[in-house]
Structure 1
């Protein structure tokens, strides 16, 4: 029932906030322990993910109507209010009175004396829903966008400097959209047309993705009804699929992937190579490396050799025809998919991550053959982690050149003159992904 769903959503939200956990992992773990229907599990996911996306706006609304300073409120009180306000403001098919009544009933379980406070604040917010005192867009654009579109102020200020108010607003608005679910067909086992037909039998509405030959966009139904263990697909956004495609790996080649966990791009490359050749999957985290091999087993990819190690240091690896660097990054291109990340990331992280990215590229030089190709990909759009990293590398490595990915650019509607690929959620409807190709000269 919806009541149980709301209480489980509160439990998950508290867990995410108290330990700065990943929302997707916490949702998966907690929902697996329940006997909720598919419909109620979907409601829990919507409440948790939606509240995280809109948390900046919601917290401002709480501040406007609270007679207690926001930072003095207990976490559980904040989250009861957040979940209720999300339902009132952003979900059309839940009656406002139901959201308020359930919030009041939930707080009675934890702190009965706070029930009048919860009830009064929510009813005041509801009465004034259409007359909130938003910051002036022209006079205070950073504050306006930060509050209206629920993004950290430091991030909005950076974006305004880089792209101006119109594009910043488009990016932030798109970050709050529910991300589309995309599958990568496992072509080692099934073709895309056949998989779409099998999905339809399970009442899952699906259509071909527009940019890659393997992708399928889920339009309706629950993919859980098909079964993840089938090995017929891997959940992967088309932008990520394009990063693997850009490597252009051939059957029989030696490939290295740095920072390979959890294995999405690894298994895609193995699929493109038709299980012929070798892929050395390097990952510093043992658990993530196990995930790589688990996914290889599930998808029938048999040419991957796991390497546990720090890719910023010299490792015992062979010379490779191609190298994919799936570098750790700020993740600011996937905020619609990772709603918790916008509140966990700090501005100083960007510089720290750029240093790691530099080291990964410099170490990759040791393993690449003459005329070999290095693909550098990150799911972000900050200048420091994208073009700056590549510019710095090219200046210090004169035996490399930037190779344009013209065919992929054309598919995405980008100029074929672009040196790099940069997807944007508000333009292509994909995750924000940066991809650069670096060719070692003979």
Structure 2
């Protein structure tokens, strides 16, 4: 199996479609039936190239004799793969990185051009040094976040964005005790560290295989959920007797967390517009032994409920600017037009779902973006239009400054 050739194919497919890179990668791994080692190497290559693409392109431009020379998408991706391996994969010798890259091309002319560029770079670089985090981030993203967060030191943010995302696990009390979970992890030789005792949140360290293949995962002893995402649900202040709605539920991590607070009492509704995503949520619920979720297919912008809820969670669609280390696609596909569309969707969801909050009930609005337009401005506009609600708390979690992903949360109370 030529993993480098697969990486090139995936990068080409990503450029020519609007599919998410994670979807393309997962589909390829299943279709080709890749083993864990090949899957990990493939992910390293495609994610690494996208994570450092702006810097890689600047290096390519300096290493080409004629900077004005037009290159096809294929040649650019071949060069990106080659230079990424030369700089970031220390275990692969430079000569091997160059030779393996050349083997991706059949045309002698193209091979000659790529060989010249890679060897020009090798001669000019001297000692190989890693670029700064800021060099890997597209200019439009840096400019936008600089405007959105004018009082924030963005150096830690850039560093956080360029790091491979940390993987957190949340213990599932419905399938066993934490002692049982930790004992099985020890049997599986897993490395972990508890980072939140009260919530049962663990940082999984030195992951070398797909977590979903672990026996402990398949038994439903834990679920993957970022430490910040877990904190959002705690703001709902769910009690066992509450009727709760998760209005943008898929993929289900927050719904499952709410279910544990309700101790599997049959008082949780999960609404999502996508039947496919709800089907996946149902499968995950079976694994976790969560059987108190009523799944409802519907659009949160206009769906009508005949009942009202004590608690409603609105984890709305957003621009994902707080999770750029996970959602590499966003770095290159973010646009003002797309954001304006999302802002309209968020506004409609807020307006519609607010009518189903009981008096003295709570609605939590959350995003995984750092945009004021989608966060503070959105909540401010809602409160101005709906004086029967008030905000008791709001906070922005900035990656690199706080633990976990970036995002925003606001607790909105309906007055009696």
User: Normalised by the size of structure 2, how large is the TM-score?
Assistant: 0.92
Structure 2: distance between partners of 1:209 and 1:383: 29
Residue deviations 1:106-149 (CA, integer Å, cap 9, x gap): 112xx3320011111111122223699xxxxxxxxxxx99x943
Question: What does residue 373 of structure 1 align with?
Answer: 362
- Inter-partner Cα distance in structure 1 for 2:407 and 2:7: 30
SS state at 1:32 partner:
helix
Comparing 16-25 and 205-214, the one that deviates more: 205-214
What's the counterpart of residue 278 of structure 2? 289
Alignment match, 1:427: 401
Report SS of the residue matched to 2:320: coil
In the alignment, which residue of structure 1 is the partner of 2:117? 121
Residue 345 of structure 1 corresponds to 334
Q: Which runs of 4+ in 1 moved over 4 A?
A: 67-71
> Alignment partner for residue 207 of structure 1, among 179, 182, 193?
193
Structure-2 residue corresponding to 1:407: none
CA distance in 2, matches of 1:196, 1:260: 29
CA deviation after TM superposition for structure 1 residue 351, in Å: 2.2
Residues 26-35 or 355-364, more deviating: 26-35
Summarize deviations over 1:242-281 as a string: whole Å, max 9, x none.
Answer: 1122212222321111111111111111122110132221
**Structure with greater helix share of residues:** 1
Where 2:359 maps in the other structure, the secondary structure is: strand
Deviation at 1:20, TM superposition (A): 2.6
Partners of 1:62 and 1:48 in 2: how far apart?
17
Q: Give the distance between the partners of 1:179 and 1:166, measured in 2 at CA.
A: 21
Partner in structure 2 of residue 112 of structure 1: 108
Normalised by the size of structure 1, how large is the TM-score? 0.87
TM-aligned CA deviation for residue 177 of structure 1: 0.2
Which shows bigger deviation, 201-210 or 164-173?
164-173
- After superposition, the C-alpha distances for 1:197-251 in whole angstroms (9 at most, x for unaligned) are 2112112111112475221111124335524432122111111111122212222
Partner Cα distance (1:429, 1:51) in 2: 26
Q: Decide whether the 8 Å contact of 1:187 with 1:271 is kept in 2.
A: yes
**Is the partner of 2:400 in helix, strand or coil?**
helix
- Tell me what 1:411 maps to: none
Q: Deviations over 1:403-432 (max 9, x none)?
A: 23xxxxxxxxxxxxxxx2222221234110
Q: Where does residue 417 of structure 1 map in the other structure? A: none
Q: Distance in 2 between matches of 1:243 and 1:106?
A: 46
Q: Secondary structure at the match of 2:105?
A: helix
Partner of 1:387: 376
Write the distance in 1 (CA, Å) between the matches of 2:197 and 2:349. 28
The SS at the match of 1:251 is coil
Q: Which residue, out of 166, 182, 191, partners 2:177?
A: 191
Higher RCO (CA-CA < 8 Å; seq separation 6+): 2
SS at match of 1:247: coil
Task: Provide the C-alpha distance between the structure 2 equivalents of 1:166 and 1:299, rounded to a whole number of angstroms.
Answer: 39
Q: Note the alpha carbon deviations across 1:283-307, whole angstroms, 9 max, x for none.
A: 1112112122222222111111111
Select 2:10's aligned residue among 1, 12, 24.
Answer: 12
Contact 1:155 1:347 in 2 (8 A): no
SS in 1 for 2:153: helix
Give the stretch that moved more between structures: 72-81 or 175-184: 72-81
Deviation digits for residues 348-368 of structure 1 (CA, Å, limit 9, x no counterpart): 322221121111111122100
The gaps in structure 2 that reach 5 residues or longer are: none
| Alignment CA distance shift 1:36-1:352 (3 Å) | closer
RMSD across aligned C-alpha pairs, in angstroms? 2.4
Q: 2:59 pairs with 55, 58, 61, which one?
A: 61
Count of residue pairs brought into register by the alignment: 411
Q: Which residue of 1 aligns with 2:257?
A: 268
Q: How far did residue 341 of structure 1 move?
A: 1.9
Q: Is the aligned partner of 1:226 residue 2:214?
A: yes
Residue of 246, 270, 288 corresponding to 1:299: 288
Within 1, Cα distance between the matches of 2:325 and 2:80? 18
Aligned to 2:50: 52
- Pair 1:210–1:427, CA change in 2 (3 A): farther
Q: Quick one: structure 1 residues 212 and 341, their matched pair in 2 at CA, closer, same or farther if it must change by over 3 Å? A: farther
Following superposition, the deviation at residue 93 of structure 1 comes to: 2.4
